[in-house]
Structure 1
Amino acid sequence: MPAPDTDSDTAPDSAATGEPPYPTDRNVLEPDCARCPALAENRECISWGTGDLEASVVVVGEAPGYGNPEADPWRGGNWTGKAYTSRHSGRRIRRMVEQVGYGDDAYYTNAVKCFPAEPDDRATNREPTAEERANCRTHLLTELEQVDPTVVLATGKHATQTVLAAEDRELEGFIDSVLEPVWCERLDVHLVPILHPSYQDVWIGRLGYEPEEYLEAIGETLDDLCAPGEYA
């Protein structure tokens, strides 16, 4: 198992700033990966996973966004090379996971590690292609094998679809799947879909939750699945 590479960024005092801890290293699996020519041409950095390699929870997003190169330090994985380090969604999902008690027991990554840019606009994202998802899936499977989590917390429809694809399964109705655990036999892990942080405010009410109730529901679901002896 490779040791995570340490970057030069220093973590701010999260207690003093009210921010979630900023990751200081990343789990580089294939330096300079060029399996997807269009992604390699338009990315700034490969956005590798960050966090505890013995974590109980792996948080999976779809792909890094373009990010903001002027933000400090939350520029986004396309600029930092670290998954979920954007000013909005990165900070938000890390704060949520920390608030439900898994801040020190989580690993963050993306189904696709490079920013998928529109061909005529490098700052605008598109959906990764099926080929790009398939090319990068081996990286995600390697991470799941290394970390061996109890739960995969998939943020959004596309991340959920990617994890299910590794099981040769399809997603039927994302909103109805939110916070409904799915046992993935091949991956030997429970999949828990949640709303992507960028769309969370739009959909929480439609699910019948207030924001605090939604956060509590995530915590309760993780506790139920990660508790020793449960689902043995």
Structure 2
Amino acid sequence: MDSRSARPWLKAMGITVWQRREPIAVANAQGPCAEVDGWGRLEDEVRSCVRCGLHAGRTQTVFGTGPRTATWCFVGEAPGAEEDRRGAPFVGRAGQLLDAMLRALALDREQVFIANVLKCRPPGNRDPQPSEVAACLPYLRAQIAAVRPRIVVALGRFAAQSLLATDQPLGRLRGSVHDYEGIPVVVTYHPAYLLRRPADKVAAWADLKRARGVVADE
């Protein structure tokens, strides 16, 4: 990607100057992945899940998207109204900004695995309840174990706290590389938050560069 084609995406991220870097290589077909039948069973289990009360109000579950050999994994909080309708994560305005974040890293959705902590939409887009996180987190853990990415980017407080089993605030979790089951985790802002607070896009870009550095060093 040359600087001219990347400029619109970096502008969306709030970055005014960009230095060209080589794209990050992604895992190929020889990388770790789950057995096809095991992955299919996991999808079926999520699709029919009634572990918490959220199943009663959903249009459909939102399993996640991306290759099971992905180097990068991005984890969000929960589906919104549009995600619930379409069955895919990050498809609204927050998804457009996530696409910009990926483009700034010389990545696209076909190269990364994207999922949420919750697979069903909370009513009114309210915060997830602890019982809902406890019911749904095993699915995310199984997904990450199957994909075995080289880096996980936790988007927002709920994703970070759920993955890292901590109640520390987002501000204290950012700026460091954490560990989840031997996989490095970098914490940054959720794209929906960045839409409300665009001034923090520069800080988010610093987080993404930290994640890119982790991948490059492996």
Q: TM-score range by the shorter chain?
A: 0.7 to 0.9
- What does 1:136-175 align with in structure 2 at a 5 Å threshold? 136-165=136-165, 170-175=166-171
Residue in structure 2 matching 1:181, options 159, 177, 182: 177
- Partner residue in 2 for 1:225: 214
Partner Cα separation in structure 1 for residue 50 and residue 178 of structure 2: 33
Residue in structure 1 matching 2:57, options 36, 39, 42: 42
- Partner residue in 1 for 2:185: 191
Partner Cα separation in structure 2 for residue 29 and residue 97 of structure 1: 29
- Partner residue in 2 for 1:102: 107
Question: Judging changes above 3 Å, is the alpha-carbon distance between structure 1 residues 139 and 95 closer, same or farther for their aligned structure 2 residues?
Answer: same
* C-alpha deviation, 1:44, in angstroms: 0.8
- Partner residue in 1 for 2:81: 66
* C-alpha deviation, 1:221, in angstroms: 1.4
Letter in structure 2 aligned against 1:127: D
More helix by share: 2
Normalized against structure 2, the TM-score is what?
Answer: 0.74
Question: Judging changes above 3 Å, is the alpha-carbon distance between structure 1 residues 107 and 190 closer, same or farther for their aligned structure 2 residues?
Answer: same
Partner Cα separation in structure 2 for residue 127 and residue 2 of structure 1: 33
Alignment gaps of 5+ in structure 2: 1-34
Q: Does 1:51 align with 2:56?
A: no
More strand by share: 1
Question: Judging changes above 3 Å, is the alpha-carbon distance between structure 1 residues 163 and 193 closer, same or farther for their aligned structure 2 residues?
Answer: same
Partner Cα separation in structure 1 for residue 179 and residue 189 of structure 2: 19
- Partner residue in 1 for 2:36: 2
- Identity of counterpart residues, as a percentage? 26
8 Å CA contact retained: 2:69, 2:149: yes
Question: Judging changes above 3 Å, is the alpha-carbon distance between structure 1 residues 130 and 82 closer, same or farther for their aligned structure 2 residues?
Answer: same
* C-alpha deviation, 1:89, in angstroms: 0.8
Residue in structure 2 matching 1:28, options 30, 43, 67: 43
Alignment gaps of 5+ in structure 1: 6-26, 68-76, 118-123
Partner Cα separation in structure 2 for residue 56 and residue 113 of structure 1: 22
Question: Judging changes above 3 Å, is the alpha-carbon distance between structure 1 residues 195 and 52 closer, same or farther for their aligned structure 2 residues?
Answer: same
SS state at 2:154 partner:
strand
Q: Over residues 60-96 of structure 1, what are the superposed CA-to-partner deviations in whole Å (9 max), with x where a residue is unaligned?
A: 11101122xxxxxxxxx201111222x2111211221
SS state at 2:137 partner:
helix
Normalized against structure 1, the TM-score is what?
Answer: 0.70
8 Å CA contact retained: 1:101, 1:219: no
* C-alpha deviation, 1:156, in angstroms: 0.5
The total of aligned residue pairs comes to: 180
* C-alpha deviation, 1:201, in angstroms: 4.8
Letter in structure 1 aligned against 2:101: M
* C-alpha deviation, 1:202, in angstroms: 4.9
Q: Over residues 103-158 of structure 1, what are the superposed CA-to-partner deviations in whole Å (9 max), with x where a residue is unaligned?
A: 243110000010011xxxxxx12222211111111100110011101111111101
Which structure has more relative contact order (CA 8 Å, sep 6+)? It is: 2
Partner Cα separation in structure 2 for residue 144 and residue 178 of structure 1: 21
SS state at 1:221 partner:
helix
- What does 1:124-143 align with in structure 2 at a 5 Å threshold? 124-143=124-143
Letter in structure 2 aligned against 1:40: H
* C-alpha deviation, 1:159, in angstroms: 0.7
